[in-house]
């Protein structure tokens, strides 16, 4: 039985252990339950209180003891539904809060904000940021300097990226700094001759919606990326790119 799914229902390890023991042994005292779960009685009481609050455990009194019993496992569906409703409520409140939070961010508009990311998940975060940011722009086009090696890291980190980009009607113009690279739809590609000695040390650069992302590898070969948020830097990099684009065949 795969019980890891219970974590996604919002239960922690101790809550899962207690709930499963109650299902297995039926009505039981706190003392016996604590021994079965290898927990102290205080912790067991706290766990039982939480499980009662969400409707997975109930109790009754005998002449000498209080006994706890697990509810029907189908009650887990209600737990998930309640959690979904709570998350939806939180989502709506966050939407209302975002403008206020943004007003606190970047008050010095011309001061660059730099953010660092690492590993495959970091690269995927940057790629998601590109799509999430560009899709809000009137002109849904961004610009790329594509570098060998890093290009493969990007494809491996987000195999469905171009499919998602096309679905969102986002366009891309790419200047390849090495041989290779394909077009996938709503994109154009040109190639620029670079000295062989320099090909493996090139950085993959994305210029998009007021930001520039620089993706590379560190000395251990780990994927790393930096996003710089600044309209002036973006405008400069975009102008250089478009001028170079116009010269390339």
User: Rounded to whole angstroms, what are the CA distances from 162 to 109, 137, 152, 242?
Assistant: 31, 18, 13, 22
Q: What is the pLDDT of residue 107?
A: 56
Which region among 93-107, 139-153, 181-195 has the lowest average model confidence (pLDDT)? 93-107
Residue 195 has pLDDT above 80, yes or no: no
Q: Where does the chain have alpha helices with state H?
A: 5-8, 13-25, 30-37, 41-53, 75-104, 119-134, 150-157, 161-167, 196-199, 231-247
Nearest to 225 by CA among 118, 144, 137, 83: 118
pLDDT higher than threshold 70 for residue 200:
no
Per-residue exposure over 120-136, b if at least 16 CB sit within 10 Å of its own CB, e if not: eebbbbbbebbbebbee
Considering only residues 199 and 200, tell me which one the structure prediction assigns the higher pLDDT: 200
How open is the CA angle 232-236-237, to the nearest 5 degrees? 115
User: What's the pLDDT score for residue 148?
Assistant: 85
Please, which contacts does 152-156 make with residues 24 or more away whose CB atoms are closer than 8 Å? 153/120, 153/123, 153/215, 153/217, 153/223, 154/123, 154/127, 154/204, 154/215, 156/120
Q: Is 40 left (phi over 0), alpha (psi -120 to 50) or beta?
A: beta
CA dihedral sign, ordered 122, 148, 187, 158? negative
pTM of the full structure: 0.62
Span 173-201, mean pLDDT?
85
Asked whether 212 and 89 are in contact (CB, 8 A), the reply is no
The residue ranges of every structural domain in the chain are 5-75, 109-247
Tokens 């961004």 belong to 142
pLDDT band (50, 70, 90) for residue 46: very high
pLDDT of residue 108: 55
With a pLDDT cut of 70, the percent of the chain lying above it is: 95
What pLDDT score does 10 carry?
Answer: 87
In CATH terms, 109-247 corresponds, of 3.40.50.720, 3.30.870.10, 3.50.50.60, 3.40.1390.10, to 3.30.870.10
pLDDT at 139: 96
**Pairwise CA distance, residues 112 & 1, whole Å:** 51
Task: Check residue 9 and give its pLDDT.
Answer: 85
Percent of residues, the chain, with pLDDT higher than 90? 67
The answer to whether domain 5-75 has CATH 1.10.10.10 is: yes
Per DSSP, what are the bridge partners of residue 111? none
pLDDT in tens, 106-147: 555 556 789 999 999 999 999 999 999 999 999 999 999 998
> What's the pLDDT score for residue 123?
95
State mean pLDDT over 235-246.
96
93 or 99: whose pLDDT is higher?
93
CA angle, 249 as apex, 176 and 213 as ends, to 5°? 30
Average per-residue pLDDT for the chain:
90
């Amino acid at each position: 039985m795969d019980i890891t799914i219970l974590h996604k229902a919002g239960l922690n390890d101790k809550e899962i252990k207690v709930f499963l023991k109650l299902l297995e042994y039926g009505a039981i005292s706190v003392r016996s339950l604590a021994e079965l779960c290898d927990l102290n009685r205080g912790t067991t009481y706290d766990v039982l209180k939480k499980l009662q609050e969400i409707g997975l455990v109930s109790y009754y009194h005998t002449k000498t003891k209080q006994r706890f019993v697990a509810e029907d496992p189908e009650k887990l569906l209600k737990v998930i539904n309640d959690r979904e409703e709570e998350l939806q409520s939180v989502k709506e409140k966050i939407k209302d809060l975002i403008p206020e939070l943004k007003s606190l961010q970047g008050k010095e508009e011309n001061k660059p904000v730099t953010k660092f990311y690492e590993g495959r998940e970091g690269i995927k975060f940057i790629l998601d940021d590109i799509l999430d940011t560009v899709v809000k722009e009137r002109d849904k086009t961004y610009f790329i300097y594509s570098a060998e090696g890093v290009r493969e890291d990007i494809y491996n980190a987000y195999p469905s990226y171009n499919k998602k980009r096309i679905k969102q009607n986002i366009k891309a113009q790419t200047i390849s700094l090495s041989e290779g690279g394909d077009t996938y739809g709503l994109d154009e590609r040109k190639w620029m001759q670079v000295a062989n000695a320099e090909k493996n040390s090139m950085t993959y650069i994305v210029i998009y919606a007021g930001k520039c992302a620089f993706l590379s590898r560190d000395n251990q070969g780990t994927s790393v990326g930096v996003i710089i948020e600044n309209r002036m830097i973006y405008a400069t990099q975009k102008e250089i790119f478009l001028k170079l684009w116009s010269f390339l065949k």
